[in-house]
């Protein structure tokens, strides 16, 4: 795999200052003790993949589900698609060691039942963003 492609995109790419996604990624960075930023990866077979957060070493990949407002059943599809992407990247990119999913307090509902159990069993770390910080799934108040 080639390194992250950040040519001309800027450190935060599409995440504007004050956006929920940028706040989520900053809170996760603080929690994990390492800066995470949006990246574009170019895998060995030429596949280009955007990730919403990655550390400088490429060992941690993160996806964000930042939906706000009222819960919609379609949010569950986004949660599961992001989990699938994270799991695939752990296999496709050998340096990736940790897969992290951050959800808003609205979308945490998508992780009820078997989805949360599957995430835990498959080694996807799930955090909930409460507007100020992130806490592990199950530890939110």
Q: What is the CATH number of the domain that holds 25?
A: 3.40.1350
Is residue 32 a part of any domain in this protein? yes
pLDDT confidence band for 16 (50 / 70 / 90): confident
Query: What is the band of 10 on the pLDDT scale with cuts at 50, 70, 90?
Result: low
In a domain, 120, yes or no: yes
Domain residue limits at 47: 20-136
Cα–Cα nearest to 93, from 43, 132, 135, 33 = 43
Torsion 70-81-109-35 (CA) sign: negative
Q: What is the pLDDT of residues 58-95, one digit of tens each?
A: 999 999 999 999 999 999 999 999 999 999 999 999 89
Does residue 12 lie within any of the structural domains?
Answer: no
What total number of domains does the chain contain? 1
84 domain residue, yes or no: yes
Is 99 a member of any domain? yes
- pTM for this predicted structure: 0.89
């Amino acid at each position: 795999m080639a390194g992250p492609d950040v040519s001309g995109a800027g450190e935060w790419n599409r995440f504007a200052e004050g956006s929920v996604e940028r706040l989520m990624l900053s809170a996760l960075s603080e929690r994990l003790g390492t800066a995470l930023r949006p990246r574009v990866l170019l895998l060995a077979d030429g596949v280009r993949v955007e990730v919403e957060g990655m550390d400088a070493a490429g060992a941690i990949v993160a996806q964000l589900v930042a939906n706000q407002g009222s819960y919609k059943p379609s949010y569950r599809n986004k949660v599961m698609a992001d989990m699938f992407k994270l799991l695939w990247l752990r296999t496709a990119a050998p340096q990736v060691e940790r897969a992290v999913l951050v959800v808003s307090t609205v979308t945490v509902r998508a992780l009820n039942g078997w989805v949360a159990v599957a995430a835990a069993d498959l080694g996807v770390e799930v955090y909930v963003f409460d507007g100020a910080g992130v806490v592990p799934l199950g530890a939110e108040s």
